[in-house]
Amino acid sequence: MDRAPGLNPNVPSSARIYDYLLGGKDNYDIDREVAHRMLAIAPDTRTLAWFIRQFLVRAVQLAAEAGVRQFIDLGAGIPTSPNVHEVARKIEPSARVVYIDNDPVVHAHCDALLANSPGLTALKADVRRPDDILDQLKTGSIIDFNEPVAVLIVGVLHFVMDDEHPADIIAKFRDAMAPGSYLALTHGSNETHPDFIAQSQSDTDTTPSQVVYRSREQTTAFLDGFEILDPGVAPVQEWLEGDLPATRLVIYGGIGRK
């Protein structure tokens, strides 16, 4: 999810970098160059990208197993299988899923993926304008906010600067969600190796993919008003099965229930 997106092959895109790290083909030379600089400092970043994806899968499974039948994927990024609807519908075949991103390239990919698929929707919208998103979801009867919903905001919040009020964005969605709803988020941690932070900020500072690393306490505060599930706000690999290794780039994961 970028700040002022567009198809510019000379400017790195967070969605395309992530796509490359996951082995996708929807990326450009500039995205691969940034990814290679990341990998030079933290070779385990490609592995971490898969940890993040598996955290998303785990969050969807958890919500679906709890009976949630509606899912909103904010900052969905370029589609990667298993997609949210594939995971949710294995558990709840009637699940509705909305994929939201402000990048027109991502939106086009989502539109193509979901063509003629009842119960699946792609919206082009910016997470920094939550009122607009909620209006679209309610006006179009896409999501019934009288029923539980799972909001997924994975790989998004560290692209929202402090003066763009990320906590207020989360609060808007929280206040609209019915009891029994879930919120799953990830966030770049300031526990990340300082060389990685310096390089990533150097690569993105003048681009739409500008990034900010926050503390565990700051990230936990985004879940105010939710019951935070175990293991709490922690590196994403701690949410997964097995004794998975720590990584130089630290990404927190957290899931809350309203």
pLDDT at position 252, please?
A: 98
Per residue in 175-215, pLDDT (tens digit) is: 999 999 999 999 999 999 999 899 888 887 766 678 899 99
Quickly tell me which residue has 């990584």 as its tokens.
Answer: 247
pLDDT at position 115, please?
A: 67
How many helices and strands in the chain, by DSSP H and E?
Answer: 9, 8
pLDDT at position 200, please?
A: 86
How does the average pLDDT of the chain come out, rounded? 90
Residue 6: pLDDT band by 50, 70, 90 thresholds? low
Phi-psi map region of 57: left, alpha, beta (phi>0 left; psi -120 to 50 alpha): alpha
The backbone torsions φ and ψ at residue 112, rounded to the nearest 5 degrees and listed phi first, read: -65, -40
What's the predicted TM-score (pTM) here?
A: 0.91
pLDDT at position 35, please?
A: 84
pLDDT at position 3, please?
A: 46
Does residue 212 contact residue 162 with C-beta atoms inside 8 Å? yes
Mean pLDDT of 251-258: 98
Residue 21: pLDDT band by 50, 70, 90 thresholds? confident
pLDDT at position 7, please?
A: 58
Question: Does position 105 have pLDDT exceeding 50, yes or no?
Answer: yes
